[in-house]
Amino acid sequence: MLRARQAIKDLREYRPPLGDRVGMRLDFNENTVGASPRVLQCLREITLEQLARYPERESVELALARFFRVRPEELLLTNGIDEAIHVICETYLDPQVQAIIVVPTFGVYELFVGATGAKAIPVLAKQDFAFPTEAVLAALNDRTRLIAIANPNNPTGQVASRVDLLRIANSAPQAAILVDEAYFEFYGETLLDQIGRLPNLFVARTFSKAYGLAGLRIGALMGPAEQISAVRRVASPYNVNSVALACLPAVLQDQNFVQRYVDEVHQGRERLQDELRSLGIPYWTRPFLNEMRRRGVLVRDRSHDLGCEGCVRITVGAAEHMDQLLSAIRKTIAEIGSPKEVSA
Ligand X SMILES: Cc1ncc(COP(=O)(O)O)c(C=O)c1O
Chain residues that interact with ligand X, rule: CB under 6 A = 29, 80-82, 106, 150, 154, 180, 182, 206, 208, 214, 219
Q: Cα separations (Å) of 322 from 78, 174, 194, 209, 327?
A: 32, 45, 36, 17, 8
**Of 133, 96, 89, 129, whose CA–CA distance to 111 is shortest?**
89
Q: How far is the CB of 218 from ligand X (least distance, A)?
A: 8
CA-CA-CA-CA torsion sign (129, 134, 138, 143): positive
- Name which of 200 and 206 has its Cβ closer to ligand X: 206
- Name which of 85 and 333 has its Cβ closer to ligand X: 85
Q: Are 68 and 220 in contact (CB under 8 A)?
A: yes
- Name which of 79 and 133 has its Cβ closer to ligand X: 79
- Name which of 228 and 244 has its Cβ closer to ligand X: 244
Non-local (6+) Cβ contacts of 9 within 8 A are: 3
**Does residue 262 sit in helix, strand or coil?**
helix
Q: How far is the CB of 36 from ligand X (least distance, A)?
A: 17
Q: How far is the CB of 247 from ligand X (least distance, A)?
A: 15
Q: How far is the CB of 207 from ligand X (least distance, A)?
A: 7
What is the side-by-side order of every strand in the sheet holding 219-222? 75-78, 219-222, 201-206, 176-180, 144-150, 98-103, 119-124
Q: What is d(CA 234, CA 241) in angstroms, rounded to the nearest whole number?
A: 17
Q: How many CB atoms lie within 10 A of CB 290?
A: 13
Q: Are 209 and 219 in contact (CB under 8 A)?
A: no
Q: How far is the CB of 281 from ligand X (least distance, A)?
A: 23
Residue type, 273: Q
Q: How far is the CB of 83 from ligand X (least distance, A)?
A: 7
Q: How far is the CB of 266 from ligand X (least distance, A)?
A: 18
- Name which of 219 and 339 has its Cβ closer to ligand X: 219
Helix ranges restricted to H, 254-318 = 255-279, 286-294
Q: Cα separations (Å) of 214 from 70, 103, 144, 179, 289?
A: 24, 24, 31, 19, 24
Q: What is d(CA 221, CA 205) in angstroms, rounded to the nearest whole number?
A: 7
- Name which of 82 and 301 has its Cβ closer to ligand X: 82
Q: Are 138 and 86 in contact (CB under 8 A)?
A: no
Q: What is d(CA 175, CA 229) in angstroms, rounded to the nearest whole number?
A: 16
Residue showing the smallest CB distance to ligand X in the complex: 80
- Name which of 210 and 333 has its Cβ closer to ligand X: 210
- Name which of 91 and 206 has its Cβ closer to ligand X: 206
- Name which of 180 and 301 has its Cβ closer to ligand X: 180
Q: How far is the CB of 101 from ligand X (least distance, A)?
A: 12
> Cα-Cα-Cα-Cα dihedral of 29, 334, 271, 24, to 10°?
30
Q: How far is the CB of 317 from ligand X (least distance, A)?
A: 14
